């Protein structure tokens, strides 16, 4: 629970004849991170078999998948050999047809866009009662100029063109202008109309009136759209028949490429192949039996003794698993140290809920977190969130990160609701029909004492965990140093308490002598374990303990700000109508502002108290994540019944 999966480095030796089936089984089992063979002892690097052919087929299938329309299918394929895979891939002979259809669809879409643009221009020319042929000829070209904004700049452009291009003919039509110029001065007009606030569209070459041209263009659009539908139907028919197989082939070919990419890490001779890598200890026996059966007893799996630090595979129970996001954000634990995920999962919601301390805010946060989580996992077809806001959020954090954060806020919101009931805080208001179990402002001194003792516990617990970590990896000097830091911290705390209570420090108070002795003994132990330079961290011990009083500070700031906003509102509604309206506006905006602070500040400060003041006492991080040799199967099935270890 508090440690990652126990890993072991293993070596698997098999006959070359069984190489492919063993490697395929290891891939589908997904429990081994394949490493380069450490001691080749006459073994050469593995050879990639038919990599070029497999790579070419994979590229071909990927190209087809991009052109075909994705089709949902429950059918899944099993490929028993590379020869069968290659044969089926070669049998897919739709490439030329699909490429041709895709090109035709692209051409149709391009032509349709041109026609739609032409229709838009012609529609804007309604009111022009002459033959359109006069607007374009071998010597004349015409443009339609329209305003892009509500501001009227067309008249200014008209004056400027008339002044600087006397050979231009200008005709007002609707909300735009028709500018007709000799073709040789086309560029000069373009330079004059260099303004991103206006539309400039060349008028198409047409004959007859505007209405007739619009009718012809609409007919052409109908014809081209029918052609597009026909082509897409043809492509869809091919997709329905071929996409499931093509996607399955693509998936299996990617798996084969992945298998061949690891061959340079293997060792082989004329008869045997050696595979080395990391595997969870609990899987070794199961995998060994399975490979022994697949290779007809002609394989050996052995554990290797090594001083290397194993990769980290986190194994946390159910709900606490979502808090792995925050641990990875800070640093992945090494495999030989304590995994702090479960501790974070317990401590963070408590800190968060305590700093919010308002039932009203807690309810809003709870419903918002549930809504956001549901929205991310079930995205709507049409989003009502403004695109600029959505883009801004996604530049900061991904949907996956938002999902983890929203779910992590849920337990903290529930604690905020419970504590809000205890404090009788509801958006800063207090319900009149019951007295608070605990009043935040009147009980401020008690809260500060509680926060101080939380700091003492967290810092002390951190040093205890640091001792356990160092003992587990055999670093006895650093383990002893953690005990020294614990003595220093507790000695300073209890001496501080004597001073605060105006007690006596000296021979008349034996406890004070004991605490001072603990400080000096602790300093000596720290110097022994970590050196004299480590004493520079002594002031940080005091600051880290006192830092936990920010739990109360943030709670108090939120409560007082909410009460001030509510006071302004209450004063306003008892005044004039104007003051009442102003009071309602201040209440809405102020509470929204305070709620945003109540989300971000407790979240940031709660995580900081854990990362800095707690983790720094025992957590090293910089672990290397376990990366098993595996590709996810969606369209294909494994040839093996993997089972569970």
DSSP string, 281-348: HHHHHHHHHHHHHHTTT-EEEEEEP--SPPPB-----GGGGGGHHHHHHH-PPPTTSB--HHHHHHHH
Greater confidence, 595 or 318? 595
Q: Quick one: pLDDT band at residue 283, thresholds 50, 70, 90?
A: very high
Structure tokens of 178? Answer: 């028709």
High-pLDDT (> 70) share of the chain, %: 93
Taking only the tens place, the pLDDT of each residue in 51-66 is 788 889 999 999 999 9
- SS3 annotation, 464-512: HHHHHHHHHCCCHHHHHHHHHHHHHHHHHHHHHHHHHCCCCCCCCCHHH
Greater confidence, 308 or 161? 308
Structure tokens of 26? Answer: 């290891």
Taking only the tens place, the pLDDT of each residue in 500-515 is 877 778 777 888 889 8
How many angstroms separate the CA atoms of 547 and 554, rounded? Answer: 12
Please tell me the predicted confidence (pLDDT) of residue 156: 62
Q: Quick one: pLDDT band at residue 194, thresholds 50, 70, 90?
A: low
Asked whether the beta carbons of 595 and 613 are under 8 A apart, the reply is: no
Who contacts 552 (Cβ-Cβ below 8 Å, separation ≥6)? 444, 447, 448, 450, 451
- SS3 annotation, 168-224: CEEEEECCEEEEEEEHHHHHHHHHHCCCCCEEEEECCCCCCCHHHHHHHHHHHHHHH
Please, what sign has the CA dihedral across residues 394, 397, 400, 404? negative
DSSP output for 68-120: SPP------B----HHHHHHHHHH---HHHHHHHHHHHHHHHHHHHHHHHHHH
Beta bridge partners of 267: 45, 274
Phi, psi of 302 (to 5 degrees): -135, 150
Q: Is the pLDDT of residue 46 over 70?
A: no
pLDDT, the chain, mean: 87
* Burial per residue of 50-64, b for 16 or more beta-carbon CB atoms within 10 angstroms, e otherwise: eeeebeebbebbeeb
Please tell me the predicted confidence (pLDDT) of residue 412: 94
Q: Is the pLDDT of residue 469 over 80?
A: yes
Q: Quick one: pLDDT band at residue 344, thresholds 50, 70, 90?
A: very high
Please tell me the predicted confidence (pLDDT) of residue 136: 87
Please tell me the predicted confidence (pLDDT) of residue 575: 78
Q: Is the pLDDT of residue 577 over 60?
A: yes
Structure tokens of 511? Answer: 């406890």
Over range 531-548, report the average pLDDT.
Answer: 90
Q: Which of 162-176, 244-258, 495-509 ranks highest by mean pLDDT?
A: 244-258
Q: Quick one: pLDDT band at residue 196, thresholds 50, 70, 90?
A: low
Helices (H) then strands (E): counts for the chain: 19, 10
How many angstroms separate the CA atoms of 586 and 594, rounded? Answer: 11
Please tell me the predicted confidence (pLDDT) of residue 166: 60
Over range 189-209, report the average pLDDT.
Answer: 74
Q: What are all long-range contacts of 22-25, with beta carbons under 8 Å and residues at least 24 apart?
A: 22/273, 22/275, 22/291, 22/294, 22/295, 22/299, 23/259, 23/262, 23/275, 24/259, 24/639, 24/640, 25/290, 25/291, 25/294, 25/640, 25/642
* Burial per residue of 154-167, b for 16 or more beta-carbon CB atoms within 10 angstroms, e otherwise: beebbeebeeebee
Burial of 441 (0-12, 13-18, 19+ CB in 10 A): exposed
Please tell me the predicted confidence (pLDDT) of residue 499: 84
Q: Which stretch of 156-165, 402-411, 479-488, 504-513 has the lowest confidence by average pLDDT? A: 156-165
Q: Which of 28-37, 168-177, 375-384, 385-394 ranks highest by mean pLDDT?
A: 28-37
Please tell me the predicted confidence (pLDDT) of residue 7: 93
Over range 477-486, report the average pLDDT.
Answer: 92
Q: Is the pLDDT of residue 149 over 80?
A: no
Q: Is the pLDDT of residue 382 over 60?
A: yes
Structure tokens of 530? Answer: 């970590």
Taking only the tens place, the pLDDT of each residue in 311-320 is 999 988 888 8
Structure tokens of 263? Answer: 């061959």
How many angstroms separate the CA atoms of 576 and 583, rounded? Answer: 10
Q: Is the pLDDT of residue 1 over 70?
A: no
Q: Is the pLDDT of residue 498 over 80?
A: yes
Q: Is the pLDDT of residue 387 over 90?
A: no
Taking only the tens place, the pLDDT of each residue in 224-242 is 999 999 999 999 999 999 9
Residue found under tokens 């693509």: 250
Over range 302-325, report the average pLDDT.
Answer: 89
Asked whether the beta carbons of 338 and 619 are under 8 A apart, the reply is: yes
Beta bridge partners of 171: 178
Nearest-Å Rg of the Cα atoms of the chain is 37
Domain boundaries, the chain: 104-222, 318-617
Who contacts 565 (Cβ-Cβ below 8 Å, separation ≥6)? 428, 586, 587, 590, 591, 594
The DSSP output letter for 5 is: P
Q: Quick one: pLDDT band at residue 401, thresholds 50, 70, 90?
A: confident
Please tell me the predicted confidence (pLDDT) of residue 192: 61
Q: Is the pLDDT of residue 585 over 80?
A: yes
Q: Is the pLDDT of residue 267 over 90?
A: no
Please tell me the predicted confidence (pLDDT) of residue 138: 85
Greater confidence, 39 or 36? 36
Over range 523-551, report the average pLDDT.
Answer: 90
The DSSP output letter for 536 is: G
Tell me which CATH code domain 104-222 carries: 3.30.70.250
Structure tokens of 538? Answer: 């002594």
How many angstroms separate the CA atoms of 64 and 87, rounded? Answer: 17
Please tell me the predicted confidence (pLDDT) of residue 163: 59
Please tell me the predicted confidence (pLDDT) of residue 164: 57
Greater confidence, 146 or 529? 529
Percentages helix, strand, coil for the chain (3-state, rounded to 5) are: 65, 10, 25
High-pLDDT (> 90) share of the chain, %: 50
Over range 87-105, report the average pLDDT.
Answer: 93
Instruction: Write out the H or E segment, with its range, that includes residue 138.
Output: none
């Amino acid at each position: 629970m508090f440690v990652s999966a126990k890993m072991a480095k293993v070596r698997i030796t098999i006959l070359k004849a069984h190489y492919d089936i063993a490697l395929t089984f290891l891939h589908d089992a997904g429990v081994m991170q394949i490493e380069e063979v450490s001691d080749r002892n006459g073994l050469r690097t593995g050879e990639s078999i038919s990599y070029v052919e497999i790579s070419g087929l994979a590229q071909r299938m990927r190209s087809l998948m991009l052109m075909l329309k994705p089709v949902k299918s429950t059918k899944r394929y099993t490929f028993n050999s590379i020869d069968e895979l290659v044969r089926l891939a070669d049998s897919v002979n739709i490439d030329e047809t699909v490429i041709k259809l895709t090109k035709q669809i692209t051409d149709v879409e391009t032509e349709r866009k041109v026609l739609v643009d032409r229709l838009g221009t012609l529609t804007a020319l309604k009111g022009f009662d002459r033959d359109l042929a006069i607007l374009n000829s071998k010597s004349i070209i015409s443009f339609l100029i329209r305003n892009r904004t509500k501001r009227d700049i067309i008249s200014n452009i008209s004056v400027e063109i008339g002044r600087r291009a006397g050979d231009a003919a200008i005709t007002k039509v609707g909300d735009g202008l028709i500018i007709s110029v000799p073709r040789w001065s086309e560029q000069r007009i373009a330079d004059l109309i260099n303004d991103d606030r206006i539309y400039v569209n060349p008028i198409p070459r047409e004959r007859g009136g505007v209405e007739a041209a619009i009718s012809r263009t609409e007919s052409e659009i109908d014809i081209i759209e029918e052609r597009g539908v026909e082509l897409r139907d043809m492509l869809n028919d091919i997709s329905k028949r071929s996409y499931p197989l093509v996607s399955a082939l693509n998936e299996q070919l990617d798996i084969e490429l992945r298998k061949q990419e690891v061959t340079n890490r293997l060792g082989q001779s004329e008869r045997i192949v050696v595979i080395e890598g990391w595997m969870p200890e609990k899987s070794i026996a199961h995998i060994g039996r399975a490979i022994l059966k697949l290779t007809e007893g002609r394989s050996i799996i052995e554990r290797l003794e090594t001083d290397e630090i194993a990769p980290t595979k986190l194994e946390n129970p159910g709900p606490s698993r979502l808090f792995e996001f925050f641990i990875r954000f800070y640093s992945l634990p090494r495999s030989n140290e304590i995994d702090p995920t479960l501790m974070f999962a317990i401590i963070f919601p408590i800190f968060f809920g305590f700093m919010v301390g308002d039932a009203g805010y807690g309810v809003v946060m709870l419903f918002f977190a549930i809504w956001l989580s549901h929205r991310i996992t079930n995205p709507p077809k049409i989003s009502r969130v403004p695109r600029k806001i959505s883009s801004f959020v996604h530049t900061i954090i991904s949907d996956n990160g938002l999902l983890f954060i929203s779910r992590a806020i849920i337990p903290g919101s529930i604690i905020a609701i419970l504590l809000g009931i205890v404090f009788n805080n509801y958006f800063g208001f207090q319900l009149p029909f019951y007295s608070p179990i605990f009043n935040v402002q009147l009980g401020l001194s008690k809260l500060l004492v509680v926060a101080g003792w939380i700091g003492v516990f967290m810092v002390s617990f951190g040093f205890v965990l640091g001792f356990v970590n160092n003992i587990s990896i055999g670093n006895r000097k650093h383990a002893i140093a953690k005990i020294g830091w614990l003595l220093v911290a507790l000695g300073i705390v209890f001496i501080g308490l004597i001073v605060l209570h105006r007690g006596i420090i000296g021979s008349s108070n034996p406890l004070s002598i004991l605490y001072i002795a603990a400080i000096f003994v602790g300093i000596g132990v720290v110097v022994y374990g970590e050196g004299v330079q480590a004493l520079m961290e002594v002031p940080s011990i005091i600051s880290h303990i006192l830092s936990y009083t920010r739990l109360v500070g943030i709670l108090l700031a939120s409560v007082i700000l909410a009460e001030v906003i509510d006071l302004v509102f209450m004063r306003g509604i008892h005044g004039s109508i104007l003051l009442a309206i102003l009071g309602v506006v201040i209440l809405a905006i102020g509470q929204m502002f305070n709620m945003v602070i109540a989300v971000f500040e407790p979240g940031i400060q709660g995580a900081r108290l854990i990362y800095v003041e707690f983790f720094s006492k025992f957590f090293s991080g910089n672990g290397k994540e376990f990366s098993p040799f595996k590709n996810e199967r969606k369209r294909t099935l494994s040839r093996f019944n993997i089972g569970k270890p």
